[in-house]
Each structure stands twice: as structure tokens, then as C-alpha cells.
Amino acid sequence: MIGPVESKGYFVRLLALFHLTCLINFSSVEARTRHHKWEVKYEYRSPDCYKKLIITINGRSPGPTIFARQGDTVVVELKNNLWTENVALHWHGIRQLGTPWSDGTEGVTQCPILPGETFIYKFVVDRAGTYLYHGHYGMQRAAGLYGSIIVSLPEGVSEPFSYDYDHNIILNDWYHASTNEQAAGLSAIPFVFVGEPQSLLINGRGKYNCSPSTASGSAAGVCNTTNPECSPYSLTVVPGKTYRLRIGSLTSLSALSFEIEGHDMTVVEADGNYVEPFAIRNLYIYSGETYSVLVKADQDSSRNYWATINVVARKPATPTGLAIFNYYPNHARKQPPTVPTTGPLWNDTTSRLTQSLAFKARQGFINTPPVTSDRVIVLLNTQNKIDGHFKWSLNNLSLILPQTPYLIALKENLTDAFVQDPPPDGYDFANYDIRSVAKNVNAASSNRIYRLRFNSTVDVILQNANSMTVNNSETHPWHLHGHDFWVLGYGTGKYNLSCDWRKYNVVNPVMKNTAPLHPYGWTALRFRANNPGVWAFHCHVESHFYMGMGVVFEEGIEKVGELPSSIRGCGESEGHHRP
């Protein structure tokens, strides 16, 4: 017989068990579909101690992290509460198999979401890994519209490496000028570049050095280094434990070097693909890339350590970005006793190229590429002028997106929406000097696209060159929507069509969705055109893409299902939109 006290405890435990059972049943349902309701709007924030208007999602920047399991359906109900701006949100690294209209690329896969409108994105996360999301209208990514997507393996499946805890770190550079001001300068005559960022952010936190003149007088309160919003991000670790750090970069301009003082890191994942583990002291990371590194908390636990990011590939004019690698039980804000590292030499291209070449697919997870390709497209990356405006171009064509998104125009055979002639597959290989400013820097605007035979194998050779500044060649991180590609190789100088293909790694090349093009060098990529839709391929530097540095691929458009009416409403599809 149960007594009164025992009876009370018994029923409490029974109630708890019932509650737990309900949670388990509920989560098993929710594991299949993940619903998110987001509101995008402008708010005043001080991510680096300097107060300015930024774009937030549900009051946050970076926005909420999406957590899902492989095979889940993600539904995001996005309301645009920006005052006067359209918006679109791209799910970076998600291939959108069967849902090309949810890629979130204004002008390519959808009309923009107008102020006051609500748009529903719905897609399947088909692979585990570390991914990103960000604005893909104008330059809104640089205004704070970004976040992370973490996709875990199916229940009962384990990673090919072990760790105790998992943390997400997202890196960014930060400007005090608004994106509208930046865009106006890029389009102006005379040209006004965005310049170097004012600060670097780790998980949305940085520190701008407020001068006395900035922080006093009429500007009092605009810049405040005691604001808790800009206190350094602190990652607390338990001595002896191993941590998986999922690191993503969504910088507008900067290539970065990330390191944790006194700690080695082991790279195990790149853009959602397992890589053969290799140890590094600093991780070079370019805009649009994601990596997982393993770090063991095996140093002196009586103190904390700096985690730092520094600008590379451009002469730095931005202070080191700082976070605290906090050993428990030290206070999370206890500063390390050392001076933060300034990172590697900013112009050490050899070191960055060496790390790029070190990535190989992990044994047991190698997806072998086709031995040969059906088509080779060589894209010469150049800085140019069009009617006095500064532009970036590929094979002398600078991309301008049409008013009618390509996906709609192609699916509905609206042949007047863009020029039907294809762009060139190459450039003047024999005569172009990649190490000098071009004799004729003039280029042409273009909305022409590459139409690929469905299921064919395509090689893209990215060829870097001198900009319009003497002895200057920029670093360009290139991102492909709708696919992963094999990174077959990197090289220096001008790519030689007759022999450089012999240098390719076709045995265990890493697969990625974003890869760097180093100064005065080339990068060789291969992908299968097997995802019906229309996909952007562009430099992930925000100002470069804004200035035309991109191309568009079409493949299997006839296999795309009926387009949802919600993506219409602009250009020749105006009046066809139904909410």
C-alpha cells in the first residue's frame, strides 16, 4: 500500500514521466518539420560599441540559428518590416533540391519581398553540416541580415570524429556607414569604395575604439565602450574536453585568419563535407565558407586565452577582432594576461595557397568526380569601367540582374526578359596579360546566362588578374548556389589549357560550395549540372557582386515543377502575384 508521502512522490514522478513522453512524441513530430516565424526590421544596435541602424530578425543580429536534422523540412515565414526596402533571404549551402524557388536570390529565383509582405520559404535540409543564411537583396547582408544553419545527422548515425561539446561561431566585418550609403558610393562618379571595415565581429560582438571626440559632446551615447552589447563573446570550456567549433564567415569584404591563443585546431569539415583531418594553428577563412575544427582544452586552466580574427589578403586598417576562450571556472570576462596576436602577414599569399591545397576529402567519404568534363568555362576576373562607372567583370561582361527573375522568365518562356545569346566560355588567352592593368579597361553590362546540358559535367576555371590598380590582384571567394563542386586544384599565374589539367586532384578532392581565388592565380572547379533550376555563381565579396562580379547557370529548366505564385510580381510577371 502506498502511503500519503509516497503517494505524492509517486504521482509527481508519474506526471513527470507523462510530460516527458509528451515531449518525446512532440519532438518526433517536430523533427520532420521545423517552423520559424521571423520579422525583419531596422533597429538601433551597438555590436561594436558604435550605435547605428541595423537589420535584425526577431530583434537579433546575427539572427536566430536554425537547428534541424538531416531530411527535415524547414519552413520560414518571413515578414518584411523594413520601412522602404525590399528583402530576400538566401539559404547558403542548402542545395534546394526540388525547390529552386526557395533559394532566396532576388532577380534569379524570385521577385523581392516588398515592405509589409510575408513570404514563406520551404525547403529540405538534405545533408548534415554547417551552413549559413543571409540577405540577397542589394547589400543587406552587410547591414546585419545573416545567421547560421546547423544540420545534425539522422538519429543513430555518428560523426567520423569525436568531441564532447559543439559550439557555433559566426564571423563578420562591420561598417558604420549604412549599406545604402555604401551602394551609392559604389555607383557614383567619382567612385567611392566602401573602404576597410571599422571593426571585426565574433558572434555579433566587436569593439570600436571610440575616441574622446566621438564619445562626447553632441555625439554622446553614440559610441560607448561600456555598452554590454559589445562586450567580447566568451566561449566557456571545461579543462580536458574536446570542442567542435563550427566557424562560418559572412564578411562583406575581408578574408580572415582565425586562431585561439596557444591551441592547435584540427579541421574536420568544410562547407558540410568531411575532410581528411589536418592540424593548423590558424584557419584562413573567406566570406561564405564554413568549417568545423576540433579544439582540446588542454592548456593551463588557471587563465583565459584570446580567440582572434585578423584581416588578411588586404593591408589591414581594422583592429583585431577579439573573443575570450574561457577556461572554467575562471570568470567569463576575465581578460587573458597576454597581448592578442596580430595574426600572420596579411600579404603571405603562399601560406594561404598552401592551406587551400591541404584540403582533401576524408577517407570513407570520398565522392569521386567524373574523370573528364563535358564543358570547360574559363572566367577571367577583371576590374573594369562601364560609362565611367567602376565594375567587376567576367570575360569582359559585368552582370546586371533583369527585372524578371531568370527562373520565372525561363519557365514561362519570356524571351524578352533577358538577352538570349550566351556569354563567352573564355577570353583572349594568348594576348591578355594578367599581371598588368588592361590596356582597355572598358567592359559591357550583360544579363546573358550560361545554359548547361542537364546532367553534364562542367569545369569552371577562375582566372585572376590585375585590377585597375598597378601591382594589385584581389582575393575573390566564389560561391555556387544549388550545388557543391569538387575543388580540383589551385595554381599561380595564367592557367594553361593544354597542360594544367594534369595537376588536378581527381582522386580525393574536397567538395565545397565556396572557394577562394588567390591573387594572380587560378582555381579549378568541377560540378554536375544535375539540379533543375537557375543558379547564381558569384564572388561573395558584397561590393564585388553588387558591381557585377557574377554569372548565372541554367540547367534542366523543363524539369522544374510548377512555380509558386508567391515568387512572382515583378518585371514581366507583375500582376501575376497572388499572396
Q: How confident is the model at residue 422 (pLDDT cuts 50, 70, 90)?
A: very high
Report the DSSP beta bridge partners of residue 389: 386
What region does 387 belong to: left with phi over 0, alpha with psi -120 to 50, or beta? Answer: left
Total number of residues shown for the chain? 579
Q: How confident is the model at residue 67 (pLDDT cuts 50, 70, 90)?
A: very high
Report the DSSP beta bridge partners of residue 480: 537
Give residues with Cβ within 8 angstroms of 117, minimum separation 6: 79, 80, 579
Q: For residue 220, give Cα distances in angstroms to 42, 43, 230, 314, 413.
A: 22, 19, 17, 33, 57
Three-state SS at 508: coil
Q: How confident is the model at residue 417 (pLDDT cuts 50, 70, 90)?
A: very high
Inform me whether the pLDDT recorded for 383 exceeds 80.
yes
Within 13 A of 328's CA, how many CA atoms are on the CB side?
A: 7
Q: How confident is the model at residue 468 (pLDDT cuts 50, 70, 90)?
A: very high
Is there a contact between 222 and 216 (Cβ–Cβ < 8 Å)?
Answer: no
Q: What is the DSSP string of 140-157?
A: GGGGT-EEEEEEEPPTT-
Distance from C-alpha of 408 to C-alpha of 109, rounded to nearest angstrom: 7
Q: How confident is the model at residue 394 (pLDDT cuts 50, 70, 90)?
A: very high
Of all residues in the chain, the percent with pLDDT exceeding 70 is 92
Handedness of CA 559, 561, 567, 570 (dihedral sign): positive
Give residues with Cβ within 8 angstroms of 18, minimum separation 6: none
Distance from C-alpha of 373 to C-alpha of 116, rounded to nearest angstrom: 46
Taking residues 476-490, report their average pLDDT.
98
Q: How confident is the model at residue 221 (pLDDT cuts 50, 70, 90)?
A: confident
Residues 87-130: tens digit of each pLDDT:
999 999 999 999 999 999 999 999 999 999 999 999 999 999 99
Handedness of CA 252, 516, 324, 340 (dihedral sign): negative
Inform me whether the pLDDT recorded for 21 exceeds 60.
no
Q: How confident is the model at residue 211 (pLDDT cuts 50, 70, 90)?
A: confident
What region does 528 belong to: left with phi over 0, alpha with psi -120 to 50, or beta? Answer: beta
Q: For residue 37, give Cα distances in angstroms to 40, 56, 118, 415.
A: 10, 13, 10, 37
What is the C-alpha end-to-end distance of the chain, expressed in Å?
Answer: 63
Residues 43-63: tens digit of each pLDDT:
999 999 999 999 999 999 999
Is there a contact between 548 and 445 (Cβ–Cβ < 8 Å)?
Answer: yes
Give residues with Cβ within 8 angstroms of 463, minimum separation 6: 378, 379, 380, 381, 427, 434, 494, 495, 522
Beta strand extents in 281-374 (DSSP E only): 283-285, 290-296, 305-312, 321-327
Report the DSSP beta bridge partners of residue 538: 479, 550
Mean pLDDT of the chain: 93
CB count within 10 Å of CB 260 equals 25
